[in-house]
């Protein structure tokens, strides 16, 4: 009734702004750099793990009698410790760079460190296992996996906007779970999603252990044969 009896100025004000909108930002990212930090941090950790297996030998030729008779699982874990330590150092450096060099806006820095640490553990374990089990073929698989995950891990674009191929396969790669866990740490946690993503990421660590402790055993002799033939050629 008040509006019906109003003057022209009141009508004009109402028609120009009929609804008052209150904006409440949920899981806000301060800027574009902050929003893509989970993807590039995850990518850096994976590439770091690839560089580790390229610079440090996964297969050691033990010459001391004390270690020559070591069982396969002992050699597997003995060498793995070095790679895991280096991977954790990489994770700390990357996250410190995110927080203090790039100065991203992060709500839970401690959770970001934890997510990066677990992601580095899984990536290093997986790539080390592939390299130890299949040699140069394992390294090539790690490179192919990162190419697929860069294109289709929902790191820069929502998975719904990507081709059907990526919608089908992206859940079977570790990138999405690491990225989502870091997003929770940076922009805010929703219920128990942070823990769920980390647990899903650790499933890939179990798969890597299965390959490293069981599946690779039949390939040990074959890999040794190819490595010896490569050394005989003096090409590597």
The answer for residues whose C-beta is within 8 angstroms of residue 162's C-beta and 6 or more apart is: 151, 152, 154, 170
Instruction: Answer yes or no: are the C-beta atoms of 81 and 151 closer than 8 Å.
Output: no
The count of domains in the chain is 1
- Residue 13 in domain: no
Measured in whole angstroms, how far is the alpha carbon of residue 211 from the centre of its chain?
A: 19
- Residue 130 in domain: yes
- Residue 205 in domain: yes
Q: Encode pLDDT of 174-232 as tens digits.
A: 999 999 999 999 998 988 999 999 999 999 999 999 988 888 777 666 665 556 655 55
- Residue 128 in domain: yes
The two structure tokens encoding residue 2: 């008040």
- Residue 102 in domain: yes
Buried b (16+ CB within 10 A) or exposed e, 122-145: bbbbbbbbbbbbbbeebbebbeeb
Q: Encode pLDDT of 102-161 as tens digits.
A: 999 999 999 999 999 999 999 999 999 999 888 888 888 999 999 888 887 877 778 878
Q: Residue 120: enclosing H or E segment and its boundaries?
A: helix 109-134
Does pTM top 0.85 for this prediction?
no
Q: State the residue range of the domain holding 99.
A: 33-218
């Amino acid at each position: 009734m008040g509006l019906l009896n109003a003057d022209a100025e009141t009508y004009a004000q109402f028609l120009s702004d009929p609804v008052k909108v209150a904006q409440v930002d949920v899981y806000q990212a301060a800027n574009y750099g902050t929003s893509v930090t989970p993807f590039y941090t995850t990518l850096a950790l994976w590439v770091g793990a690839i560089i580790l297996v390229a610079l440090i030998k996964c297969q050691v030729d033990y010459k001391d009698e004390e270690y020559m008779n070591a069982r396969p699982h002992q050699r597997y874990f003995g060498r793995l410790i070095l790679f895991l330590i280096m991977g954790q150092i990489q994770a700390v450096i990357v996250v410190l760079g995110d927080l203090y060099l790039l100065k991203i806006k992060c709500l839970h820095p401690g959770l970001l460190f934890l997510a990066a640490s677990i992601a580095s553990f899984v990536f290093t374990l997986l790539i080390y296992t592939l390299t130890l089990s299949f040699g140069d073929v394992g390294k090539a698989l790690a490179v192919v996996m990162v190419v697929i995950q860069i294109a289709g891990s929902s790191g820069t674009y929502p998975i719904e906007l990507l081709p059907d191929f990526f919608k089908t396969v992206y859940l079977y790669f570790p990138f999405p779970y690491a990225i989502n866990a870091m997003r929770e740490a940076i922009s805010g946690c929703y219920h128990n999603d942070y823990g769920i993503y980390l647990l899903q990421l650790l499933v890939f660590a179990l798969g890597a252990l299965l390959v490293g402790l069981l599946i690779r055993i039949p390939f040990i002799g074959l890999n040794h044969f190819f490595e010896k033939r490569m050394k005989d050629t003096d090409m590597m």
